[in-house]
A and B are shown apart, each in its own frame.
Chain A
Amino acid sequence: MAEAVHASLKVHRGIMPFGLIKYGLRPWRSPRRVLPRAQELKPSYDIVIIGGGGHGLAAAYYLAKDWGITNVAVLEKGYLAGGNTARNTAIIRSNYLTPEGVRFYDESVKLFQSLSNEFDFNILYSERGHLTLAHTDAALRTMRWRAEVNKHLGVRSELIFPDEIRKLVPCLNLSEDVRYPILGALYHEPGSIARHDAVAWGYAIGAAARGVELHQKTEVTAINHADGKVTEIVTNRGRVRCGVAMQAVAGSSSVLAKMAGFKLPIRTIPLQACVSQPLKPFLDAIIVSGSLHVYISQSARGELVMGGSTDPYALYSTRSTLDFKEGLMAHMLELFPFLGEVKLLRQWAGLADMTPDFSPVMGETPLENYYIDAGWGTWGFKATPVCGKRMAETLASRKVPDILVPFRLARFEEFALVGEKGAASVGH
């Protein structure tokens, strides 16, 4: 086909506008249809997954691929991956603080590394190295703690000091004449970025090809349950019965859980982010500073992808605030003073499911055949593959795998929290 395109362009070189229109209207140019056309909902499925973001699609994919279960429907209120999957800043890492967290996220990093090959579709996985800067003695202590926990579990993390930071990121302002001088950093070599919507599309295409039904514009309006079991899911396109159901709707988790009749330890708080105009590549590593509430990486397109801490109060709106940008940029300019004249290109917000211990909520709920995948705060994208794989295992075998047990919903009433506040996000 490439040759045909080349030939057709050559023929029409003389009369370019007409040639371009004709070329654009050629039937063979239409894109490959990767997802089957929308169809009616069936009255019943073995498994219903509520939420067609990265996590829901990954669970559907692994159900079909690893467990051979294809009588599965994914119900999505809007369009696939239109929520937090496409609103995060696409950072992948496993340098957490608790052994439970490190083990879980490390499995995710390993799955991410082979995902492009598995999908035969490029997710632009790019290993950059991830630096978490320390500006205080207390932060240095936490970095050393994280490095030791990581190394113990086979994850490559090191505490490094300004001389080494200078070699890795020559453009970073390491001057001592600033408000918060950089004392050291936690260097996590496998830290990466990837194209987040490609990850969701890869899972969606793979799941649909194996027979999973993806229903977009299908909003769940009620969850009927009796005797501790889900009996029927009511949507704006009709009712479906199911053997097992799962919710993966970070941002609206509490709303859906309320339909199923239980409360969650979650507050919905917006997280804002922005990108700059594209610049020539100058920043290879991903730079994070918990104390300055900033993180920054440069995408394959050259845009600087920047984010900060969550908003100061709960909200179900993706509105934008000037406070966020002012706070972010004030600190960003201390790290990279030469960005002063750079323009912002886009900004947006996502709704983050914040839990009290900064760890997710996965596994069983008070309803026997209803499972939950929630509490993804500011750490959901990096867990997409492992969460999909392990939630698929949970739904198929009806048994929660050991790696997910620490993140059970019941941990709160047992006062057995998994404290990741020091490693999960910035701004505390």
Chain B
Amino acid sequence: MKIINCPLNGPRNASEFLWGGEVKEMPDPTASDPAAWADYVFLQENEAGIVREWWCHLPTAFWFIAERDTRTDEILRTHRPSELFGKRRDFAQPKPEEGA
């Protein structure tokens, strides 16, 4: 793997990119237990096969998603994150009930 096809910048040298690890489902920031966070932060599928992961084109700081085969070192497809993440995530804490 020497060239990576960035969805924003087109084919660029692999040395311009940073690997960001597996795409994972983030636990609900307002309601989840420490075990779910430990799993999210530390545990890895570490699949020997086709994986979906984050990559960043460093000069333009553009994050995108790639499907890559970890046995053959080939990227099968790259796409913008909006394909998977269509909705804006709300990090606001729920407001305490009035009078509570």
Contacts and interface: CB of A to CB of B under 8 A. Distances in A.
Interface of A: 252, 254-255, 263-268, 312-317, 319, 323, 356, 412-413, 415
A316 B70 contact: yes
A314 B70 contact: yes
B46 interface: yes
B42 A356 contact: yes
Contacts of A319: 73
B11 interface: no
Interface in B50-76: 51, 70-73
B73 A317 contact: yes
A413 B46 contact: no
A99 B34 CA distance: 27
A322 to B, nearest CB: 9
A312 B21 CA distance: 11
Nearest to B43: A263
Given A263-B39, A267-B21, A254 B15 contact: no
29 contacts: A252-B48, A255-B46, A263-B39, A263-B43, A263-B44, A264-B44, A264-B46, A266-B46, A267-B44, A267-B46, A268-B46, A268-B48, A268-B70, A312-B18, A312-B19, A314-B46, A314-B51, A314-B70, A315-B70, A315-B73, A316-B48, A317-B71, A317-B72, A317-B73, A412-B38, A412-B43, A413-B34, A413-B38, A415-B34
B26 interface: no
B92 interface: no
Given A265-B44, A413-B38, 14 more contacts: A252-B48, A254-B46, A254-B47, A255-B46, A263-B44, A266-B46, A316-B48, A317-B71, A317-B72, A319-B73, A323-B15, A412-B38, A413-B34, A413-B35
Interface residues of B, number: 21
A183 B18 CA distance: 30
B98 interface: no
Nearest to A262: B43
A266 B70 contact: no
B72 to A, nearest CB: 7
Given A315-B73, A415-B34, A266 B15 contact: no
Nearest to A351: B48
A24 B97 CA distance: 91
A415 B38 contact: yes
Nearest to A327: B15
A314 B34 contact: no
Contacts of B15: 323
A263 B45 contact: yes
Contacts of B51: 314
Contacts of A314: 19, 21, 46, 51, 70
A146 B72 CA distance: 40
A134 to B, nearest CB: 26
A19 B41 CA distance: 68
Nearest to A415: B38
Interface centre among A252, A313, A412, A413 (most CB of B within 10 A): A313
Contacts of A312: 18-19
A298 to B, nearest CB: 31
Contacts of A412: 38, 42-43
Interface centre among A255, A412, A413 (most CB of B within 10 A): A413
A298 B61 CA distance: 42
A316 B71 contact: yes
Nearest to B13: A323
Contacts of A413: 34-35, 38-39
